[in-house]
Structure 1
C-alpha cells in the first residue's frame, strides 16, 4: 500500500487495474453510500491478504480480477438500484450478474461472482463453492466481524482504514438491511440472516421463530428427544414445574428452568452462576429429599421479561423449614417457553427505618422485596406511577391486604422525594402499625 494522497485508490491499494474493475468501482461509487463502497473495497484487500497467507497466487490459483468484482459488488442489493423482492444477497447477485453481462463478461465467471455475492452470509457453504467464493466471504467476514483479523499483515488494517474509513459500517449496514426488511418483510424470511435481524427489532412473537413454523406446519409433529421436556408456557408455570421436577428428582428438568448464565442463590450469601453450578445445587436438593412449596405472591410482565415473587417454604434441606420470599427475573426463550435469569429467595427489602419486631412478625418475611423490585418498576412506569407500583410490590412494606392498586389522590408534585420514604397513606394504603413512611 502506498500512502500518497496524489495517487488514486487503485494505485494506493494496488488494486487490479483494468477497464472492467474501474467501471465496477465507479458504478458502486455512484449507487452506494460511502460506508458500502469502503466496506466492499476493504473486503477485497483483506481477501487478497488471506489468499497470500494460504500461499495462493493471483492468476494461477485464483482469478484476482474476479475476486475484486465479487467483493466490490457484493452489497449492491442494499442500494436503491439493487433493491428487488428477494433477500438482499440474491438481489445483489442478480444485479451484479446483469452489470457484468452488459460488459461482456463470460457466463462462467458471472456464475462464480453470483455465488460469491449470494452466499457471502452463508457460513459453511461459500467455503465449498470455489476459491474466489471462499476468499470473498473470508474478506467480507474480516471487515464485518473481525474474523481472522489477527492473520492480517501488521499495520494493513490501520492503513486501509485511513484511506477508507469505517463510518460505523457494521451498524450502518445492519440498519440498511432492516430498512429493506421492514418495508418488504418477504425479503427477510424467518430462517434467514435478514429474518433473524428483523425479528430482534420487532415485539416478541411478531415474527415467527423456527418452533413457531414447526407448530404451524399442520402435520401435528410433537417434540421428541431434547425438546420433548415440557416447557413453561407462562411465567407462573416456571414455579409449578420447579415443584414437579423437584418432587420427581428430575435434575435436568430443574436445570432447564434456568438460562445458561442464570444467577441462583441457594442460601443466603451463596451466589451461583451458570448451568454447571446450578446443576450441582439442584442435585444437592434432590439428594437431600428437599420439597418446595411456592405460592405466587405477585408478578409483573412486560413483553418477554417478567418479575415474579413467590412465597416459598422449603422443607427437607435442614431441621427446620426455610420460609422466604423469592425475587425472580424470567425471560421468554426462543422456543416460547420461560426460564429464570435471576432466582434469589433471600433478597429482601427494608423500608426506611427498621420495622419493629412485632411489625416484622405480623407482616412476615414474604412482605419484603429487594430494591431490584423497585428499580424494575422505576424503569417501566412514569415517576408517580412507579411509586404506586413500588407500593403495590411491597417495596414500602405495605401489608398485602392494602388497597394499593388504586392511584394516589395526592398530586404527584406533593409526593415525598424519590430518594426518601413514600408514605403509604398517600397511595391509599393503610399501615397503622408501621412507622412513619411505611
Structure 2
C-alpha cells in the first residue's frame, strides 16, 4: 500500500485530534512521522514516530487516532530519552500505563491493543509518573512474563478504551471484513481474524455487530532507545517547548476532567534526568569546606564565625531494615558507598541499621562487607537523628544519608546538617519527605 494513502489517513487522525482535543494536537505539529514496513505497528525513538502503513490503515479511525496519540505522547514525554539504564521492557510497560492513563482520562479515544492500563497492575492504582510506575513494578517484583497474562484486547470497564466510538456512530465498511481490524491485530498479536460476513452468523439490524479486538499474546513494544549521536539536550528542548504549548492550550480551554497525571508527567519530562548514583556521589564527595559552614557554637550569641575546617568529612548512613529493602537494592547502595570511600580517603563513613531501634555504628571502608541485617519491625527515623544530635557534642556531624522507602515517623524538627534520602523503588512521593534532598533509586 502506498505511503501517500497512509499519510492521508494520518492527516485524518490529526484533524480529528485537533477538532476534539486541540491541546494534544499541538504535539503532532512537533513530531516527525514516517512509514516503515520494518516496524510491526508503531514505535518511536523520541525523534521519529514510525508507522507500519498496512497495519495502520487497517485500523478503524478512532483506534488509529488513539494509537497515533499514544506513540506521540511517548516521544513528547521523552520516554525513550528517560530510559537510562532501566530494564527496557519494564520501562515500556510503565510508560504505556502513564500514556494510557492520560488518554483514558482526557480523551474519548481507545488505547492501543497490547498496551497496559493502570488497572492491569493493581486495582485503584493511580500513576504519578513513569518512574513511579517503574518503581512499583520493581517493588512488587512484577516481570513481563507475569504481566503478559493480563493483556487483553478489551479494556477494563469504565475506561474510554472499552468501546471504541466513531464520531458519527457509523462503521466503515472494511471494519467487518476479514482484512480489517481483526486481521491487522491478528497479524500483530497472533490472534485469529474474525470471519468474513459471508460465513458469519447474521446479526439483527437492531443490534449492529461491533468487532471485538482479539486478545494480544504479547505487549506492544513501541519505545526504542534514543539514537546514538542525536543531541539529547536539543531533543529535550524541542519537546519541552511542545509540552509547554500544549499545557498552555489546556489551561486556556480548561478542558479535561483531571489533568493531574498530565501535569506530573509534564514536570517529569521537563526536569533534568540524572542517575541516582551520580547524585549520591555529588552529595558525598563534597569537600570539608563545603560541609563546614558557620560554627554553630557561637550562633546563640549572634556571632556568625566561620567554622574551623577539619581534614575529614564525617558522613553517617542509616539503612531502613523494616523489611522493605530487598538484597539487590541493598547491595547496589552499599557498593556505591564502598566505591566512594575508596576513591576519597578524607570521607569517614559510619553505617547504621534502623527499624524502630538503632544498631551500629559500623565503619565503612573499601573492603567493608555488610553484616547480617538486623531489624524487620516497624520504621522509625527518630532514633538515628536523635543519636546524631547527641553525637554533635563529641564529634562533628557533617551530613547524613538515609536509605529507606519513607514509610515511617520523621523527626518534628529538621537537623542542622545536610540530609540525603535515597528512596528505593516504590517509596513514598518525594514531596512527603519533610526535609533534606531526595534521590530515587531506579
State whether TM-score is above 0.5: no
More relative contact order, 1 or 2 (CA 8 Å, 6+ apart): 2
The structure with the greater share of residues assigned to helix is 1
Larger Rg: 1
Q: How does the TM-score come out when normalised to structure 1?
A: 0.30
Q: How does the TM-score come out when normalised to structure 2?
A: 0.30
